[in-house]
Amino acid sequence: MEEKLKGNPEFEPADIFAVFNNYFLLFFGFTCILSSVLIQQLFVMIGQTRTGIIVAPVLGIILPVYLVTRRFPAGFRRQLLIRRPGVLLAGQVLIATLFVVVIIDYIYAVSEKFTTAPLDYIEGLKELKPSGATAIVLTYLGLCVFVPLAEEIVFRGLIQRVFTRNMGGVLAMLLAGAFFGVIHLTPQLLLSMIAFGIFLGYLFFATSNLTYPILAHCVFNTVSYVQLVTLPAEKLAAVPPYTRNHWVLLLTLAAVVYLLVRIKKGGSVSAKTPHDSSSDSDAS
């Protein structure tokens, strides 16, 4: 009898998307983003940028979303579709992300021809460049763990899913990716961040598992972090030299298309596999 009740939608525990309407969820999502930006700016003003990139995403996005979703029986992880990843699919996502880094660099190179990186953006990169063990660890945790987690929770876990309810998966993926690019507030990064946001949206669209875009975002930011640590300060905003070779771009595009197809097939199979409810549930 219990199994029948579990499989019947009328007896499934209500989730955040069933209880709240689209307008409220969008308002909540964008309020979280705005809160995170404002908190970060406060830390910038007091000269604690490095601490801000940890505190702002936690207080502005992760904590509010957790407090709202944990009130529902399914809990935080199941509400946001954060599931255990498959090893093969995770590997394909990781490799695809590394190739996407190359494509993003090409888009950045094109953008540079039309817009100049603002001085405050370049100075911000120089200020963020870590020196010393503590700064290296704090910067990594902020840029490569907390920021990706927070941004995926709000852009893919909330906003893209709200858009999907009204306009279908593909259009929702594109629109959420556009918002992701705009929120980064740097004209030179606009096109490249929109492209990256669409890639992350595709991963969520293809797999119905927020873990994969979180993983991809962490990998992407880790590459940027390695560049931040290893490159001289005057070259942090420079275009990589390989962007002058168009063969690299063509080969990379072919590899990404192939991997995206494989990810979609793997994601479809994974979506049909029942998940262990005990492993996905949260403690309230």
Summarize pLDDT for 7-19 with one digit per residue, the tens.
444 434 567 888 8
Instruction: Confirm whether pTM is higher than 0.85.
Output: yes
What's the pLDDT at 12?
45
Given a contact cutoff of 8 angstroms between Cβ atoms, the answer to whether 157 and 28 are in contact is no
Q: How do residues 240-256 score in pLDDT, each as one tens digit? A: 889 889 999 999 999 99
DSSP state of 70: T
DSSP state of 85: P
Residue scoring higher pLDDT (99 or 131): 99
Q: What pLDDT is stored for residue 277 in this prediction?
A: 45
pLDDT tens for each residue of 41-93 = 999 999 898 999 999 999 999 999 999 998 887 789 999 999 999 999 999 99
Q: Give the relative orientation of helices 87-114 and 246-272 as an angle to the nearest 10 degrees.
A: 140
Grouping H, G, I as helix, E, B as strand and the rest as coil, residue 237 is coil
Q: How far apart are CA 123 and CA 248, in angstroms?
A: 30
Residue found by looking up tokens 């596999």 in the block: 273
The DSSP code for 222 is H
